[in-house]
Structure formats: structure tokens, C-alpha cells
A and B are shown apart, each in its own frame.
Chain A
Amino acid sequence: MNDGAILQLVTFKLGTEEFGVDILKVQEINKMMNITKIPNAPAFIEGVINLRGKIIPIVDLRKRLGFKEQPYDKSTRIIVVELEGLVLGFIVDSVSEVLRIPENTIEPPPSMVAGIESEYIEGVGKLDDRLLILLELKKVFSSPERKDIESIELN
């Protein structure tokens, strides 16, 4: 390998697709727990959980990325991340492993990947025969709907 820095990623699965997020952003990984639904919340917000006395919002990544919904099972996990001081969790089908890949194997996203609009994708990592989608967490969790609503109210 040449000059490339090494990225450490937590990889997880939604359906058959494999995704990765920067390990530094991940605070912890939990088994599925009791989620309290929130009425009137944006649709992709599944609810809130009690994480050792702190209340954090939970996003269903399947809903957020437009995958078909599927009942939770034993391998369902909640990945808790910290984004600019905001702690929140998202639900994935299963967590696979921690991967180290050189940064230079990551390519910019093609226009359509797995039916997800490419704005949520930071890049695509190639590993032997697999493809790994790197999620742009900030975009995934900013809510465009809310911005729309705010601009309507101002006019």
C-alpha cells in the first residue's frame, strides 16, 4: 500500500447491502430495546430510548433510506453515534465487523446505489469482491422535511 491513510469502519447490513460508518463516530452498539413512539415526529424517527438515563432519538435506517420495512429480529442492532454533539441511534438489520481499509480504495459514489439517492453516500469502498457503502451520517439525519416546513412558516 502506498501513502493511503487507513480508515476504520463499523460495517453493518440492511437487506443484502453492506454499509460502513467511521468507527470514531460510533459510541456503542446495542441490542434492540424498547422504543417509545413519538406522535407527530418526522416519519423516519422510530421513537426514543432510554440509554442509561439519557433519552435519545432512534431512526429506522430502513425507513430513512427507503428500504422495505421488515420486523426486528435477534440480529437487529441499534448503533449509537455522536454527530456534532448530538447523540442518536439508528436501527440496522445486523452488525458485521470492524474493517480497516486504505482510504484510497474509496471511490466517489455512482449516481444510484441500491436505490438510495447518492446524496446520502460519502463513497463506495471496494474490497476483494464486495462493495461497501459509506454513509454520510450528517445528511442521513438532517431532516429536509423539517427545513421545508420552517421555510413555509416564514413566508
Chain B
Amino acid sequence: MDDQALQRDEMQEIIDEFIVESSELMDNVIQDIVVIEQSHDEEVVNSIFRAVHTIKGTSSFLGFNTLSQLAHKGEDVLGQIRKGEMSTSQEVADILLESFDLMKLMIEDIREHGSEQQDASVVIGKLMGLLDPSQKPAPQPEEKKKIGEILIEENIITKSELDEVLKKQETEKDKKVGEIILEEKYITETQLNKILVKQKTPKMEEQSIRIDVKKLDDLMNLVGELVLGKNRLILVNSMARKGDDSENVFDNLADITNYIEVITNELQLSVMRARLVPVSKVFNKIPRMVRDLCSEFKKDIELKVEGEETELDRSLIEALHDPLIHIIRNSVDHGVELPADRTAKGKPPKGLLSIRAYNEGNHVIIEIYDDGKGINIQAVKDKVKEKGLMTEAELASLSQKEAMNLVFIPGLSTAQKLSSVSGRGVGMDVVKTNIEKMNGQAYIDSEEGKWTKLTIKLPLTLAIMRALIVKVREELFAIPLNTVTELVKLREGLIKTVDKNEVLVLRNTVIPIVDLRKAFLFKGEEDNSGYIVICNIGDKIIGIKVHSVIGQEEVVIKPLGEFLKDIKGISGATIRGDGKVILILDIPSVIINYANNKKLHLQAQPQMQAGAMN
């Protein structure tokens, strides 16, 4: 019995290893195919061949026969390419990519269910068709999970309701099933968006990472030293208990505290470093995606990717995936024009999409630039007005940049027509919220008709950040230090009132002030002492009025939990040295919250305003 169990464990280990290795190989292979499609490179062809060969061998040894057969056929095709008997036309690349995608799915299945769940016969048929053109199979319709099916699985609509919707679609051909369902009020828009996301991403989360042995050794060393520190603490504790001469105890304690502080700092850094993963993990998927999107939209785009080696925390890399893909889709679909249009505008027919990652202090910046048609600011403004989100006067007071960043408002899409990849009007606001969830920032810059640049700024790591601890009345709050640019001590007359809003004029810049006391509806009298914390978010500057500033601290972010996750203005909490919980401010939402409160206030009491003027 035990022997069998042991063997099973060993087998599982081998399979796990195979899954990790082969998914990595597949990722590389898919990238490489895109490379050889552009230009034939013998070295690259050979490396693809070797990778597929390895997968074929291991999978047949482990008994994953479907996978092995598929790999075998793929290897045959690659063999011909290697010998120069076949050229990598787009057709060949398409079929190879399709089969490698399928292999990836199978590996995913093996991870989850222990065996392949996909049927490879169609793709194998296509590969055979390449090897022997006379056996070319008839084209098969693409299988993709239909939105209706997903909805039924999720028990949101019933089968009969779906049938009705499908009947309706017959008459209104150009509408998507999702849109009709929405019109019929079977589901809400938020539900629909969730489903659409589900339809797009089949799920990808890595459960294990590879880590440098050197990094592990460093960690082990530090942990060893931590244990030594613990032993010393125990010793001091027993000294204190015995009533040892107190000065000696205190000296020792101070020494150990210092020692442990140094070690935990280093431990923290090492663990953080161990969690860092190069952004190439996400960037690698881009060439393939851009290639597919280009052929779908008949665009011609040159892709430039720089800074793949920039490192980011593992959890951030995963969370970055969706927003990044969305932005790129937007750029390809709405940004870069069709080759003919480009020529007409006097631009080179081939568009440029450039993606760049680099470090800036404790942050990673990712820029997505395209030389497409840019943002039509007037169109954005019109749309905002049409939707009644802002008044004419408010719009007029915006700077060019502020107006451009209106694209991040929920429910705003300036695209005239919808397409399968973007333009559902759920795009940019989701991107922004996702990035802000990671304590990052997103802003956009553009010149109409020429280019658009979207910048994402992310912290290196999620769990720990530097924060400024401030006091408002009796409560302490933490403000993420990455947003803080400076502190201003308040004096009489420094704060001015413009149009009922408090502002601070600092070096000729007018900075609006958010009074936390009001934003959080604390009771109590107004006073004008304390500090203003100047925060910079995107290109917005605001001042936050606080009573006193305690200092900088490194805080460990803890979520508030399911029950309190949607509290406006608060992004989480942290525990201070004395065990007290303090809240971490979510600066972007503090601003929104404050603006909303003010609006309500103004609408409710117009006569009060007149009174206050006197």
C-alpha cells in the first residue's frame, strides 16, 4: 500500500514538473513562431523544433497520448520547415499557432483534471493538410464558448429565455446576444461585463514560480540570524525575570532590538526580491496578440517592446495582464488607422505600437504608445455632456490634459461602432480601477491625429508600502507616500476660498483642498491649524488638510475584508507597532467622495450659500 502511494506521489511530482516545464516551453514557442513568420531564422526554428520534440517525448512517456500525437504532427511540420521544404507563410503560422494554443490548453487540463479534455483531431487534420496538401480538410467553424451558454451555466437566464433572445437576433443581425439580453433586462450591465470578461479569459494563474537558488540561500541565512536573535531575546527575558541589574538588561534589549530590526528589514527585502518577476511574463504574449489583432482588423503595425527585464511583484504581474491587453486592443482597434487612411494623412502606412517598461525609484512605469489618430478631445467632452456627467462650465474649466483623462469615466466610449474586441464602453474605467486597486496610477496623453500615450505607474510591491501617518482629530490615517509630494504648514490666511471651495496657492499653483474632517463627515469645529499634505495623482494635485503629521512608516497592507470592501475613501488598513489598527486612505476616491458631497451640499442649500457670502 505504502509503496503504491509513494509511487503515485513520485509520478505526480514528475507530472507537475512536466506541466511547469512544458507551459514555459509553449510560451516561448508561441513567441518564436511570430518571430519566424517575420523572418526565417534557422536558430529560432531549431529551438522551436527542440521544444516541441521534448514535449512529444515526455508526454508520450507519461501517457498523455492526445497531446503527444498533436506534438508529433507539429514536429513533422516543423521538420519540413527546418529542411527548407516549407516556408512559414501566414497560413502555416496560423495553423502552428492554433495547434500550440491547443497544446497549452491540454497542459492546463492536465494540471486541473489530470488528463487532456480537448479533441485534437481537427487541428491534427489541419497539420496533416500542411504536410500533404491533397489531404486538406474542409474548413471547420470556430468553436468558442457562446455567451448564452455561459449565462445559462451561471444560472442567470434560462434556456427558454435564451432561445427567445436568439430568435430576436435573427431579425436584428448586427446586434450581439449580450446587447439583446441587456435590452430585455434579463441581466444588469455589471453582470454582463463580468460575463464578457469570463468569455475572454479562460483563466490563467500560475501556482508556482521558479526561484534562484542563490535567493533562497540568502533567505535561509537571514532566517538563521533571526533565530539567533530570538535566542538572545529569550535570554534577556529570563534575565529580566530573575531581577538582574536593570541597566544590563536594557542595554542588551536595545542591542537585540537593533539587531532584529536590521535582519527583518533585510528579510523583507529578500522576500520581496524573491517575489519579483520580469514583466516579460506579460510582454511575451503581446507580439502574438498584436499579430492576431492586426489580421483581424486589417491593420499593419510594427511592434516595439522594450524593458522586458524590468521586474515587478508576482501578484502585480498577474493583475497587470488584463488591463494591458485591453489597452493594446484599444490601440490596435481604435488607435492606429487602416494603412490606406494613414497614407492619406501623410503617415507611413505601417503604424507603430511601442511598449516600454522601466524603473523609476520605487515604481515601475509602463508606457503604451501608438502613432494613431489620438484622442478627439471635443468628442470626449461632447460625450460627457451628452451623458450629463458634467456641466458646460465644468468642462470649460478643464485643461487639455484633464479633458483627455475624462476617458477614464465609467460608461464612456467615443468609438462610433462596436467591435468584438473593444468599444463596449466598459474599457478604460475598468483599466483605471484595476490599476488603482494595485495602488498604481494611470493617465493618458495624446495629440489629436498624431499619437496617444498611456502611462501606468505601479509600485514595486503590493503588500508593503511607505506611508505618511497623519492625525485627523483623534484618528490616525496612513497616506501612501508615493502620492505625497510635500507638506505645507498652515498659517492664518494661507487658505483662500474660491467659489465656496477652499484652495491653497502654492508657488503660483492653485491647489484645491480636501478637508478629511468633512470628507468623512466627522463632527466638530473647524480650525485652521495643522498641515496640508500635497498629493499628486496623475496630473491632479490636491491638498489634504490634517491636524498633525506623525511621520513616515513602512506599513503592511491588510484588506478590510468582504464586509467592508467598498468603503469609499479607504483602501485598506494596517496595524501599527502598538497593535492599533489604522486606516489607509485611498486618495483618488477621497477626491471623488469629496466632490460628490459638495455637489449634494450645493444642490440642497442654495440659499445657505447666499447667506454665507455676506
Contact = CB atoms under 8 A, between A and B. Distances in A.
The yes or no verdict on A and B being binding partners is: yes
B561 interface: yes
B521 A45 contact: no
A29 B563 CA distance: 20
Interface residues of A, number: 22
Contacts of B561: 55-57, 86-88
A54 B566 CA distance: 18
Interface in A42-88: 45, 48-50, 53-57, 86-88
Interface in B513-548: 519-522
A115 interface: no
Contact of A36 (B566, B567, B582): B582
A36 B563 contact: no
Interface stretch (B70-78, B304-312, B572-580): B572-580
B570 interface: yes
B562 interface: yes
Interface in A119-155: 141, 146, 154
B31 to A, nearest CB: 40
A48 B564 contact: yes
Contacts of B560: 38, 48, 55, 57
B390 interface: no
B581 interface: yes
Contacts of A34: 579-581
Given A48-B581, A50-B579, A50-B581, A40 B563 contact: no
A36 B573 contact: yes
Contacts of B568: 40
Given A50-B580, A55-B575, A38 B562 contact: no
A137 to B, nearest CB: 13
B583 interface: yes
A63 to B, nearest CB: 15
A41 interface: yes
B169 interface: no
A78 to B, nearest CB: 14
A154 B188 contact: yes
Contacts of B575: 50, 53, 55
Nearest to B476: A36
A86 B520 contact: no
A48 B558 CA distance: 12
Contacts of A141: 563
Contact of B573 (A55, A86, A87, A146): A55
B484 to A, nearest CB: 20
A39 B520 contact: yes
B593 interface: yes
A45 B564 contact: yes
B475 interface: yes
B427 interface: no
Contacts of A88: 561, 563
B190 interface: yes
Contacts of B580: 34, 36, 50
B182 to A, nearest CB: 12
B569 interface: yes
Contact of A39 (B190, B563, B569): B569
A39, A50, A88 — most chain B CB neighbours (10 Å)? A39
A100 interface: no
Contacts of A50: 575, 579-581
B564 A36 contact: no
A57 B567 CA distance: 12
Given A55-B560, A57-B560, A86-B563, A37 B475 contact: yes
A40 B593 contact: yes
Contacts of A87: 561
A54 B560 CA distance: 9
Interface string B180-199: 00000000111000000000
Given A48-B560, A57-B563, A40 B188 contact: no
Given A39-B520, A40-B520, A40-B593, A49 B581 contact: yes
A55 B582 CA distance: 10
A48 B583 CA distance: 10
A155 to B, nearest CB: 9
B581 A40 contact: no
Contacts of B569: 39-40
A39 B521 contact: yes
Interface in A1-55: 34, 36-41, 45, 48-50, 53-55
A64 to B, nearest CB: 13
Contacts of B573: 36, 48, 55
Nearest to B585: A39
A37 B189 CA distance: 34
Given A38-B567, A39-B569, 4 more contacts: A34-B580, A39-B519, A55-B573, A57-B563
19 contacts: A36-B475, A39-B522, A39-B567, A39-B570, A39-B583, A40-B520, A41-B567, A48-B573, A48-B581, A50-B581, A53-B575, A55-B561, A55-B575, A57-B561, A57-B563, A86-B563, A88-B561, A141-B563, A146-B566
Q: When A and B form their complex, which 5 residue pairs have the shortest distance between CB atoms, in order from nearest?
A: A39-B520, A36-B581, A57-B563, A50-B581, A154-B188
